[in-house]
Amino acid sequence: MHAIDFHAHHSPLGAYASFTCGKFGAGGGLTIEGAKPATQDLVIGWIERDGTVRALPFYTGAVQDLSNFAAGGTSASKRQPLGDGLTRRMSGGSDTWSVGDLVFSIYTPVVPLPDPAVAGETALQEAILPVVTASLRLTNHGSEERHLVFGIGAGAACYRLGLTGGAQAVGWGRDFGIAALDQPGLQAWVNWNEQDWFEQRRDHLLGSSCGFVLPVPAGATRELQLVLGFCRQGPVTTGIEASYYYARAHPTVTSVLAAGAARYVALKRRAEEMDRELEASALDEHRRFLVAHAERSYWGNTQLLDRGGDPLWVVLEGEYAMINTFDLTVDMLFYELRRNPWTVRNVLDLFVERYGYVDHLARPAADAKRLSHEFTRDPKRLAATVSPPATTGLPGGLSFTHDMGVQGHFTPPGTSSYELSGLVGCFSYMTCEQLYNWVLCATGYVVASGDHAWLAARHPVLLACLQSALNRDDPEASRRTGVASLDSSRCEGGWEITTYDSLDPSLGQARNNLYMAVKGWAAHLGLSRLFELIGDAPRKADAEVAARRAAGTIVARFDPAIGYIPAVFEGGNVSAIIPAIEALVYPLEWKLDKALDRKGPYAELIETLGKHLAAVLVPGRCLFADGGWKLSSTSDNSWMSKIFICQHVAEQVFGIVAAPDSHAAHAHWQQVGSAEWAMCDQIIAGKAIGSRYYPRCVTADLWREKVRPAAGVRSPTEPGGVRAPSGSLRH
Half-sphere exposure of 340 (CA within 13 A, CB side): 22
Q: What CA–CA distance (Å, rounded) separates 156 from 490? A: 47
**What's the pLDDT score for residue 77?**
75
Contact 581, 650 (CB under 8 A): yes
Q: Which residues pair with 690 in a beta bridge?
A: 682
In the predicted model, is pLDDT for residue 720 greater than 70?
no
Q: What CA–CA distance (Å, rounded) separates 475 from 464? A: 14
How sure is the predictor about 386, in pLDDT bands with cuts at 50, 70 and 90? very low
Q: Which helix (DSSP H) or strand (DSSP E) does residue 487 occupy? A: strand 487-488
Of residues 214, 76, 71, the one with CA closest to residue 151: 214
**What's the pLDDT score for residue 163?**
86
Q: Kindly report which listed range (152-166, 384-398, 604-618) carries the lowest average pLDDT score.
A: 384-398
The predicted-structure confidence for 90-148, as pLDDT tens digits, reads as follows 999 999 999 999 999 999 999 999 999 999 999 999 999 999 999 999 999 999 999 99
Q: Which residues pair with 8 in a beta bridge?
A: 21
| Secondary structure of residue 153 in the 3-state scheme | strand
Q: What CA–CA distance (Å, rounded) separates 655 from 213? A: 55
Average pLDDT over every residue of 439-456: 98
Beta strands in 182-220 (DSSP E): 187-191, 209-216
- Model pTM score: 0.94
Q: What CA–CA distance (Å, rounded) separates 342 from 645? A: 22
Contact 135, 102 (CB under 8 A): no
Average pLDDT over every residue of 179-194: 97
702-706 own/partner pairs: CB under 8 Å, 24+ apart:
702/334, 702/585, 702/644, 702/645, 702/648, 703/281, 703/283, 703/287, 703/291, 703/644, 703/647, 703/648, 704/278, 704/281, 704/283, 704/291, 705/338, 706/282
**What's the pLDDT score for residue 67?**
85
Average pLDDT over every residue of 515-538: 98
What distances in angstroms separate CA 10 from CA 108, 148, 292, one per listed residue?
6, 22, 11
The predicted-structure confidence for 69-87, as pLDDT tens digits, reads as follows 777 776 667 899 999 999 9
Contact 341, 427 (CB under 8 A): no
| Percent residues over pLDDT 90 in the chain | 87
The predicted-structure confidence for 227-266, as pLDDT tens digits, reads as follows 999 999 999 999 999 999 999 999 999 999 999 999 999 9
714-720 own/partner pairs: CB under 8 Å, 24+ apart:
714/598, 714/655, 715/655, 716/654, 716/655, 716/656
Please name the amino acid found at residue 626: D
DSSP assignment string, 531-552: HHHHT-HHHHHHHHHHHHHHHH
Say how many C-beta atoms besides its own lie within 10 A of residue 533's C-beta.
16
| Percent residues over pLDDT 70 in the chain | 92
Q: What CA–CA distance (Å, rounded) separates 615 from 245? A: 50
Contact 146, 140 (CB under 8 A): yes
Please name the amino acid found at residue 141: H
Of residues 16, 12, 10, 9, the one with CA closest to residue 242: 16
The predicted-structure confidence for 491-500, as pLDDT tens digits, reads as follows 998 999 999 9
In the predicted model, is pLDDT for residue 505 greater than 90?
no
Mind spelling out the 3-state secondary structure of 554-580? HHHCCECCCCECCCECCCCCCCCEHHH
Q: What CA–CA distance (Å, rounded) separates 231 from 249? A: 11
Phi–psi pair at 67, nearest 5 degrees: -65, -40
Strand order in the sheet with 302-307: 243-244, 302-307, 310-315
Average pLDDT over every residue of 425-443: 96
Q: How do beta strands 187-191 and 391-400 pair?
A: unpaired
Q: What CA–CA distance (Å, rounded) separates 707 from 655? A: 12
* 112 CB-near residues (< 8 Å, 6+ apart): 127, 339, 340
Q: Sign of torsion, CA 560 561 564 569? A: negative
Q: Sign of torsion, CA 358 360 361 365? A: negative
Q: Sign of torsion, CA 681 684 686 688? A: negative
**What's the pLDDT score for residue 314?**
98
Q: What CA–CA distance (Å, rounded) separates 278 from 281? A: 5
DSSP assignment string, 325-373: -HHHHHHHHHHHHTT-THHHHHHHHHHHHHSEEEEEEEEPPTTHHHHHH
In the predicted model, is pLDDT for residue 373 greater than 80?
no
CA dihedral 317, 321, 326, 329 (to 10 degrees): 40
Q: Which residues pair with 147 in a beta bridge?
A: 47, 215
Phi–psi pair at 410, nearest 5 degrees: -80, 125
In the predicted model, is pLDDT for residue 392 greater than 90?
no
Q: How do beta strands 176-181 and 146-153 pair?
A: unpaired
Contact 10, 108 (CB under 8 A): yes
Q: What CA–CA distance (Å, rounded) separates 631 from 611? A: 16
Phi–psi pair at 222, nearest 5 degrees: -135, 155
Please name the amino acid found at residue 422: G
**What's the pLDDT score for residue 706?**
67
**What's the pLDDT score for residue 390?**
55
Phi–psi pair at 226, nearest 5 degrees: -115, 145
Of residues 581, 605, 592, 548, the one with CA closest to residue 711: 592
DSSP 105: E
**What's the pLDDT score for residue 282?**
92
**What's the pLDDT score for residue 527?**
98
What distances in angstroms separate CA 297 from CA 6, 14, 198, one per listed residue?
13, 12, 35
Of residues 117, 125, 131, 110, the one with CA closest to residue 249: 125
Please name the amino acid found at residue 343: T
DSSP 414: T
In the predicted model, is pLDDT for residue 192 greater than 70?
yes
Distance of CA 567 to the CA centre of its chain: 26
**What's the pLDDT score for residue 504?**
84
In the predicted model, is pLDDT for residue 40 greater than 50?
yes
What distances in angstroms separate CA 387 from CA 395, 425, 508, 512, one per listed residue?
21, 15, 19, 19
| Secondary structure of residue 645 in the 3-state scheme | helix
DSSP 81: E
